[in-house]
């Protein structure tokens, strides 16, 4: 049930009922449907193209941003690894070139320490640790000789791996540094270690050398996510990094993140290959995608402009189209009505002519017989019912006359009379016709008012037929007005190629229903004495003369008949 | 009119006999023909002065009779009767030499008037 009502609603909304062709709603629906269809057809490809372009562009832009970032990260990691490898090699070289005994000599270790500080920079101290973890010699700012490292994990790692590079840690002087230790063996097989501490200022200079813009951030973390260098946004050295990092991954990873401050960032994360560090490069998206955002808003405005333009054009085109259809429909409908009328007139005309002709012959016989009866009555007067017979014969002859009028009008309606063109003054034609009706008007005290334009141009037309036209209309007007009514006849030049005569009465007027039938043959309101042929004949004549007949009527107020004619009669094909 | 010979031609016998009788009452003697051939025979044998001729008849039509009658007796006056209400055939007849035409049903006084005109003016 619900489905059916939805179906009905769709049908009503998107289709139109064929029975309702003349309704203005039909054109509104048509216009709306055209607009909806045209907008849909235009928008679907436009919108899909815009979305595809948007997506494509975003993808390619991202890869253009991501690749350099990945490259930068790899390069930086490489710099760090090079730095660490260099320091490790240096320490390893010193340990290889010297013996435990040499380096245990305070003077010697001090000399190495000075050379390292001078040539490499960043070295904080240098110490020799024996196989038991006791620091036997030390060069540096503190007094750490005799310190026991045997309990520390790095000591054991060196023993296993042969070298060790520590995470960053705060030493006695409370600044960050790292420790590097290598293991060597004495001739007696006992191991010893050379351990150096390096400050991490060099890390900062490597980071600075990347040349990242002011909005970006670069820092190192260890495998536990603890910051190894200072971060601009995510914490100080040795604090846990505030970001969720993909610590377990290998290689370089670039991901989109939203940090705890709500900023949208592009993050590159690279694990060191040989050490337990990872490099993190962070760039705010607002900076790297600035050009994209600008382009996006430009694209949006172009799209919006296009959409507005399309909608305006579609509405205008739909309006134009529907108006044309409306005008064409109106024309077709009126042409159809006219054709229908003409066909009706001509077929009824043929029928009427046949009937009239057939009736005329017996009517002629009745006429002659009654005439003979009358003749005989006049010759032989003085019998019983003489007067009565005379009255009866006269009545027969009068009826024959009435029939004659009807049949002649029927034949007149049907025939295509030859048009006799002459130059005439329309005012004169009107006046002549009024001559026939003046007596009736006078008798009924109907005022015949003439408002004729004396400067109206002369026209070429058929006088007899125009007389018939005005006689028919005026007869109707006289029939419509009450006694003491009023009829106004006006003539005027309407345009260079058109004159008009209007006949206005203040009679009973016509209902719209009556008005729609008045040009139909045999339609009459004059019960009993109208033939219903006057106005169809009038209409036919005017059309034949290349003119037009319009009727305006208000029930109870009166009627205006307006005849328009062309000054020069051009015969229609139908009536050459 | 009394000395004039009049021929009435119409296929409607009732019409033509009654008309003849009425004319006789007005002292006008007439011959009667109810078809074109009979009419032409009379024109040939006893030529009338005036012929009242119906246009629409079976067989030989009014216009054909008119044409032949005029060729036999060019001086014959012809008044046509038409039941069509159309002026077309009437005018065509006048072009062929008819004096005038009348539309049915006719008024006898009008007919006599026309006959008189035909004799006097023609």
Structure confidence by residue, pLDDT tens digits, A501-532 = 999 999 888 888 888 888 776 677 765 555 66
Q: With respect to residue B78, please indicate whether it lies within any of the assigned structural domains.
A: yes
- Return the closest-CA partner of residue A488 out of A540, A546, A456, A449: A449
| pLDDT tens profile A252-283 | 888 888 888 888 888 899 988 888 889 999 98
- Using a CB-CB cut-off of 8 Å, the residues of chain B touching A356 are 85
CATH architecture of the domain with residue range A416-565: 2-Layer Sandwich (3.30)
| CATH code, domain with B108 | 3.40.50.2300
| pLDDT tens profile A146-159 | 889 888 888 998 98
Q: With respect to residue B105, please indicate whether it lies within any of the assigned structural domains.
A: yes
pLDDT the model gives residue A573:
38
- Using a CB-CB cut-off of 8 Å, the residues of chain B touching A353 are 84-85
Alpha helix ranges (H) inside A98-130:
100-104, 106-119
Give first-to-last CA distance, chain B, whole Å.
Answer: 14
| pLDDT tens profile A325-353 | 988 888 888 777 777 766 666 677 677 77
How far apart (Å, rounded) are the C-alpha atoms in residues A294 and A308? 21
- Return the closest-CA partner of residue A85 out of A163, A194, A183: A163
Which residue in this structure is represented by tokens 């030049």? A493
What range does the domain containing B38 cover?
6-117
pLDDT band with cut points at 50, 70 and 90 for residue A18: very low
Of B12, B88, B108, the CB nearest to A371: B108
Q: Is A465 helix (H, G, I), strand (E, B) or coil?
A: helix
* Structural contact between residues A141 and A124, judged by C-beta atoms closer than 8 angstroms: yes
Interface of B with A in 33-52 (CB under 8 A): none
- Residues spanned by CATH 3.30.565.10 within chain A? 416-565
Which residue in this structure is represented by tokens 């790095």? A154
Record: contact B85-A379, CB cut-off 8 A: no
Average pLDDT, integer, range B80-91: 73
Strand partners, A549: A563
- Using a CB-CB cut-off of 8 Å, the residues of chain B touching A361 are 12, 15, 83, 104
Residue A208 has pLDDT above 70, yes or no: yes
Residue B112 sits at the chain A interface (C-beta within 8 Å): no
Record: contact B22-A411, CB cut-off 8 A: no
Helix (H) / strand (E) containing A49: helix A24-97
The domain tally of chain B equals 1
pLDDT the model gives residue A531:
62
Record: contact A364-B15, CB cut-off 8 A: yes
Residue B10 has pLDDT above 90, yes or no: yes
Enter the DSSP assignment of A192. Answer: E
pLDDT band with cut points at 50, 70 and 90 for residue A134: very high
Mean pLDDT of chain A: 84
Q: With respect to residue B73, please indicate whether it lies within any of the assigned structural domains.
A: yes
Within 8 A by CB and 6+ apart from A510, the residues are: A518, A525, A551, A553, A555, A559
Record: contact A415-B19, CB cut-off 8 A: no
Question: Against a cut of 0.80, is the pTM above it?
Answer: no
Residue B105 sits at the chain A interface (C-beta within 8 Å): yes
Strands A447-452 and A486-495: parallel
How many percent of chain A have pLDDT more than 70? 90
Q: With respect to residue B122, please indicate whether it lies within any of the assigned structural domains.
A: no
Residue B34 has pLDDT above 70, yes or no: yes
- Using a CB-CB cut-off of 8 Å, the residues of chain B touching A367 are 105-106
Superfamily holding A62-288: PAS domain (3.30.450.20)
Give the DSSP per-residue string, A193-255: EEEEEEETHHHHHHHHHH---TT-EEEEEETT-BBSS--SSS--TTSBPSS---TT--SEEEE
pLDDT the model gives residue B111:
93
Average pLDDT, integer, range A234-247: 84
- Using a CB-CB cut-off of 8 Å, the residues of chain B touching A372 are 18, 21-22, 25
Give the A-side interface with B, CB within 8 Å: 353, 356-357, 360-361, 363-369, 371-372, 375-376, 379, 400, 404, 407-408, 410-412, 415, 417-418
Residue B25 sits at the chain A interface (C-beta within 8 Å): yes
- Residues spanned by CATH 3.30.450.20 within chain A? 62-288
pLDDT the model gives residue B122:
60
Torsion angle (degrees, nearest 10) of CA A231, A71, A222, A126: -90
User: A361 vs chain B: nearest CA distance in angstroms?
Assistant: 7
pLDDT the model gives residue A244:
79
pLDDT the model gives residue A413:
60
Residue A405 has pLDDT above 50, yes or no: yes
- Listed as own residue / partner, the contacts of B30-38 with beta carbons closer than 8 Å and 24 or more positions apart are B30/B6, B31/B5, B31/B6, B31/B7, B32/B7, B32/B8, B33/B7, B33/B8, B33/B9, B34/B9, B34/B10, B35/B9, B35/B11, B35/B59, B35/B60, B36/B9, B36/B60, B36/B61, B36/B62, B36/B64, B36/B65, B38/B9
Record: contact B106-A367, CB cut-off 8 A: yes
| pLDDT tens profile A412-466 | 665 544 466 778 889 988 988 887 788 788 888 899 899 998 888 888 888 878 8
User: B66 vs chain A: nearest CA distance in angstroms?
Assistant: 20
Enter the DSSP assignment of A152. Answer: S
- CB pairs < 8 Å spanning A and B: 68
- Listed as own residue / partner, the contacts of A522-525 with beta carbons closer than 8 Å and 24 or more positions apart are A522/A348
pLDDT the model gives residue A174:
78
- Return the closest-CA partner of residue A242 out of A254, A256, A257, A253: A257
Radius of gyration of chain A (CA): 59
Residue A81 has pLDDT above 70, yes or no: yes
Predicted-complex ipTM score: 0.86
- Return the closest-CA partner of residue A228 out of A204, A211, A193, A254: A204
Max CA-CA distance within chain A? Answer: 191
Examine residue A543 and say whether the peptide bond preceding it is cis (omega within 30 degrees of 0).
no
- Return the closest-CA partner of residue A267 out of A258, A467, A276, B94: A258
Strand partners, A461: A422
How far apart (Å, rounded) are the C-alpha atoms in residues A27 and B72? 75
- Phi–psi pair at A401, nearest 5 degrees: -60, -45
Which residue in this structure is represented by tokens 């063109």? A421
Mean pLDDT of chain B: 88
pLDDT band with cut points at 50, 70 and 90 for residue A537: confident
């Amino acid at each position: 049930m619900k489905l059916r009502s939805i179906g009905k609603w769709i049908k009503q909304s998107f289709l139109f009922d064929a029975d309702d062709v003349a309704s203005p709603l039909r054109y509104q629906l048509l216009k709306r449907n055209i607009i909806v269809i045209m907008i849909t057809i235009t928008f679907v490809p436009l919108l899909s193209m815009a979305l595809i372009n948007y997506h494509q562009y975003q993808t390619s832009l991202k890869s253009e941003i991501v690749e350099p970032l990945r490259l930068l990260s790899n390069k930086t990691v490489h710099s760090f690894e090079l730095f660490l490898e260099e320091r490790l090699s240096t320490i390893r070289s010193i340990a290889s070139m010297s013996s435990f005994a040499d380096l245990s000599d305070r003077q010697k270790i001090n000399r190495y320490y000075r050379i390292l500080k001078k040539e490499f920079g960043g070295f904080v101290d240098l110490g020799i640790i024996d196989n038991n973890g006791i620091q036997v010699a030390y060069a540096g700012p503190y007094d750490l000789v005799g310190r026991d490292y045997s309990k520390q994990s790095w000591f054991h790692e060196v023993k296993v791996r042969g070298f060790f590079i520590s995470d960053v840690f705060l030493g006695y002087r409370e600044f960050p540094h790292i420790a590097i230790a290598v293991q060597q063996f004495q001739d007696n097989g006992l191991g010893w270690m050379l351990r150096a501490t390096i400050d991490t200022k060099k890390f900062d200079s490597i980071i600075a050398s990347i040349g990242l813009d002011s909005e970006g951030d670069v820092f190192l973390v260890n495998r536990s996510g603890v910051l190894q260098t200072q971060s601009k946004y995510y914490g100080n050295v040795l604090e846990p990094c505030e970001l969720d990092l993909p610590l377990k991954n290998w290689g370089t990873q670039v991901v989109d993140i939203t940090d705890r401050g709500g900023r949208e960032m592009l993050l590159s994360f690279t694990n060191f290959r040989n050490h337990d560090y990872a490099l993190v490069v962070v760039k705010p998206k607002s900076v790297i995608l600035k050009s994209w955002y600008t382009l996006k808003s430009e694209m949006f405005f172009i799209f919006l402009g296009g959409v507005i333009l399309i909608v305006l054009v579609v509405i205008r085109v739909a309006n134009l189209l529907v108006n044309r259809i409306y005008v064409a429909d109106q024309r077709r409908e009126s042409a159809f009505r006219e054709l229908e009328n003409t066909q009706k007139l001509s077929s009824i005309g043929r029928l009427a002519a046949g009937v009239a002709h057939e009736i005329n012959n017996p009517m002629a016989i009745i006429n002659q017989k009654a005439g003979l009866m009358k003749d005989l009555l006049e010759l032989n007067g003085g019998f019983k019912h003489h007067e009565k017979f005379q009255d009866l014969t006269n009545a027969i002859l009068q009826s024959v006359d009435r029939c004659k009028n009807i049949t002649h009008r029927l034949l007149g309606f049907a025939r295509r009379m030859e048009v006799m063109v002459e130059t005439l003054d329309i005012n004169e034609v009107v006046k002549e016709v009024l001559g026939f009706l003046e007596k009736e008007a006078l008798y009924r005290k109907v005022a015949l008012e003439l408002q004729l334009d004396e400067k109206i141009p002369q026209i070429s037309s058929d006088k007899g037929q125009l007389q018939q036209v005005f006689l028919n209309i005026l007869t109707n007007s006289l029939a419509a007005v009450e006694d003491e009514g009023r009829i106004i006849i006006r003539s005027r030049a309407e345009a260079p190629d058109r004159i008009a005569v209007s006949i206005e009465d203040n009679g009973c007027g016509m209902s719209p229903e009556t008005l729609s039938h008045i040009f139909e043959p045999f339609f009459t309101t004059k019960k009993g004495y109208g033939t219903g042929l006057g106005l169809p004949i009038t209409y036919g004549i005017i059309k034949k003369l290349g003119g037009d007949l319009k009727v305006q009527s208000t029930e109870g107020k009166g009627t205006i008949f307006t005849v328009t004619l062309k000054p020069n009669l051009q015969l229609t094909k139908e009536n050459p | 009119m009394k000395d004039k010979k009049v021929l009435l031609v119409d296929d409607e016998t009732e019409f033509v006999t009654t008309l003849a009788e009425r004319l006789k009452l007005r002292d006008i003697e007439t011959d009667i023909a109810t078809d074109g051939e009979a009419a032409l025979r009379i024109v040939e044998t006893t030529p009338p002065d005036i012929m009242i001729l119906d246009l629409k008849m079976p067989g030989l039509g009014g216009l054909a009779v008119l044409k032949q009658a005029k060729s036999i007796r060019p001086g014959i006056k012809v008044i046509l009767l038409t039941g069509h209400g159309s002026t077309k055939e009437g005018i065509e007849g006048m072009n062929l030499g008819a004096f005038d035409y009348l539309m049915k049903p006719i008024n006898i006084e009008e007919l006599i008037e026309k006959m008189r005109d035909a004799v006097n003016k023609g």
